[in-house]
Amino acid sequence: MQTNTTIPQGTYPLLNSSFRASEGKFLIRQRKQPTPNKPENYLIHLGGEKRFEYISSLYEQESTTSMKVFRFDYGENIYLLTVENESVEIEVIDL
């Protein structure tokens, strides 16, 4: 699978389920009808060469009242996306 977007590692301010990082804006969206194979949340990217790019489903790993941790894959990497209060952190998982 060819990927067009670079997933930026780091911590970014979160505003209304979106954050700006490197070359555009990322949005955490919710599916209207999740299924067992398609979880409720997913990540998209706006900007860059393609105006809109679906990145991945977000698979919830753990959550508390103030934090949610999701796993997603893009290209050949697996990432953790941690949403906490007004920030989001993205990190690559080493396999």
Which residue from 85, 54, 90 is spatially nearest to 71, judged by alpha carbons?
90
- Calculate mean pLDDT across residues 60-77: 91
pTM metric for this prediction: 0.87
Q: Which residues, in sequence order, are CB contacts of 65 under 8 Å at separation 6+?
A: none
Q: Which residues pair with 52 in a beta bridge?
A: 46
State the pLDDT at residue 50. 65
More confident residue, 95 or 33: 33
Q: Which residue has the higher pLDDT, 68 or 85?
A: 68
- Average pLDDT over the chain, rounded to an integer: 89
